[in-house]
């Protein structure tokens, strides 16, 4: 009996590991997607809808839906409408792999918009690489997303090593911080950003008095914060998302750190953070990627359409709506380039040609700026902005041009 239970246990483990591993490889039958006459082109839209950044994830979905409406109203791709297959990866690496395997199992899906979070993106990209399905993430910022050199992986968001460098310079040069505590959520996104801030701040001459990961499942971070109160730092930088940031800023007050600057990232930049933290949100700084000033008219038109469609201004939802819209159009433009009608009126899409066309994107005038994808799939434009909470509202602060020059170094 004991042996039978052991065998059952091993089979269960094997099945679980299979579910969490890439299982779809390229073969001749999958080299092209044929959409029958009268059918629709399927694109997977994968974001976080029920996890730690669900509000931002909804913002990403809704922005992509506006792009889709515009495309289909203009005639689609050679007369074929496009539809999204919406998936929720909950900002989780494990869930990202499960979702990616479901996407790869559907041989009619030609591309992926997503994923939203870096950890989920990195995990899912292994599946897409084997299945030869191109993806464009609007918001996965960890350097590792593109540094692995997978030709199916692209993104519109700026890299953490760009954003984190500006964050550190602003903390040191503008806010005058000399002693910094750095916290992170142990995720690819939060940890990667925190490491850049730590290293850059140290290079500038500052002292990093703590570098510590938190458990995102905890509700009480006072055991992490209390030791800092004995000799308070000038500032605390947190790499992570809004749910944990709300707890951190409220509990900082409990342990005597209410006068310490709290600085975070676009994972925190949403109205839901201010609503959750209340008065403790006052004075909190966050960095994010701004939309292109040169495209102000297009951005205003998009914002108005977003509000008309969904009843809320996009900036109330999160920072990546413009990136999501641009990601969708990068895929749409590539599809327009490679899709061909056959003699029977079917639409034929060559996967390898689509992968190449996305990577060769050059000079696309998007909401975030003029987008061109480089050799590893970084397509981002725009500049780093910083906001601070004043009277319960996000208020932009001036970022000196010499700090923005750090982006290119």
DSSP assignment of 174-205 = IS---EEEEEE-SSHHHHHHHHHHHHHHHHTT
Tell me, yes or no, whether 142 and 205 share the same domain.
no
Say if 237 falls within a structural domain.
yes
| Domain count of the fold of the chain | 2
Can you give the residue range of the structural domain that contains 281?
Answer: 161-290+385-408
Tell me, yes or no, whether 270 and 330 share the same domain.
no
Tell me, yes or no, whether 145 and 193 share the same domain.
no
| Buried b or exposed e, range 317-333, using 16+ CB within 10 angstroms | bbbbbbbbbbbbbbbbe
Tell me, yes or no, whether 215 and 350 share the same domain.
no
Measure the CA dihedral 150/151/153/154, to 10°. Answer: 130
Angle at 371 between CA 366 and CA 375, to 5 degrees: 155
Say if 305 falls within a structural domain.
no
Per-residue pLDDT of the chain (409 residues), as tens digits, is: 444 444 444 444 444 444 444 443 334 567 999 999 999 999 999 999 999 899 999 999 999 999 999 999 999 999 999 999 999 999 999 999 999 999 999 999 999 999 999 999 999 999 999 999 999 999 999 899 999 999 999 999 988 888 999 999 999 999 999 999 999 999 888 999 999 999 999 999 999 999 999 999 999 999 999 999 999 999 999 999 999 999 999 999 999 999 999 999 988 998 989 999 999 999 999 998 876 666 889 999 999 999 999 999 998 888 899 999 999 999 999 999 999 999 999 999 999 999 999 999 999 999 999 999 999 999 988 788 999 999 999 999 998 877 766 554 4
Say if 82 falls within a structural domain.
yes
Output the pTM of the full model.
Answer: 0.86
Given the DSSP bridges, would you call strands 179-184 and 235-239 parallel, antiparallel or unpaired?
parallel
Taking residue 3's Cβ as centre, other Cβ atoms within 10 Å add up to 7
Tell me, yes or no, whether 25 and 123 share the same domain.
yes
Say if 184 falls within a structural domain.
yes
Angle at 264 between CA 188 and CA 113, to 5 degrees: 50
The enclosing domain of 238 has a CATH number of: 3.40.50.2300
């Amino acid at each position: 009996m004991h042996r039978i239970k052991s065998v059952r246990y091993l089979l269960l483990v094997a099945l679980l590991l299979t579910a969490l591993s890439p299982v779809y490889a390229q073969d001749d039958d999958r080299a092209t997607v044929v959409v029958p006459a009268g059918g629709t082109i399927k694109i997977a839209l994968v974001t976080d809808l029920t996890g730690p950044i669900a509000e931002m994830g909804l913002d990403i979905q809704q922005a992509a839906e506006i792009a889709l409406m515009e495309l289909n109203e203009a005639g689609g791709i050679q007369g074929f409408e496009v539809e999204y297959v919406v998936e929720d990866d909950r900002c989780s690496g494990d869930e990202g792999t499960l979702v990616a395997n479901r996407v790869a199992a559907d041989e009619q899906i030609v591309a992926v918009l997503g994923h939203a979070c870096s950890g989920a993106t990195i995990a899912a990209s292994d599946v897409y690489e084997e299945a030869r399905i191109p993806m464009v993430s609007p918001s996965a910022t960890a350097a590792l997303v593109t540094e692995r050199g997978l030709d199916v992986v692209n993104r519109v968001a700026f890299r953490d090593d760009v954003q984190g460098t500006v964050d550190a310079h602003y903390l040191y040069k503008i806010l005058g911080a000399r002693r910094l505590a750095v916290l992170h959520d142990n995720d690819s996104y939060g940890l990667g950003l925190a490491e850049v801030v730590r290293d850059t701040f140290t290079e500038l001459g500052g002292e990093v008095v703590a570098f510590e990961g938190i458990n995102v499942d905890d509700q009480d971070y006072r055991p992490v914060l209390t030791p800092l109160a004995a000799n308070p730092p000038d500032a605390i930088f947190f790499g992570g998302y809004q749910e944990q940031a709300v707890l951190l800023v409220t509990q900082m007050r409990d342990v005597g750190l209410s006068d310490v600057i709290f600085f975070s990232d676009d994972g925190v930049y949403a109205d839901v953070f201010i609503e959750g933290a209340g008065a403790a949100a006052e004075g909190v700084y966050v960095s994010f990627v701004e939309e292109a000033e040169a495209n102000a008219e297009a951005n205003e038109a998009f914002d108005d359409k977003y509000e008309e469609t969904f009843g809320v201004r996009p900036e109330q939802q999160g920072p990546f709506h413009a990136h999501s819209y641009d990601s969708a159009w990068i895929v749409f433009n590539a599809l327009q380039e490679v899709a061909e009608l056959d003699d029977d009126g079917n639409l034929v899409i060559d996967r390898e040609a689509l992968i190449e066309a996305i990577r060769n994107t050059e000079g696309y005038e998007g909401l975030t700026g003029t987008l061109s994808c480089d050799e590893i799939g970084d397509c981002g434009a725009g500049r780093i902005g910083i906001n601070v909470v004043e009277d319960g509202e996000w208020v932009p602060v001036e970022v000196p041009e010499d700090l923005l020059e750090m982006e290119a170094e």
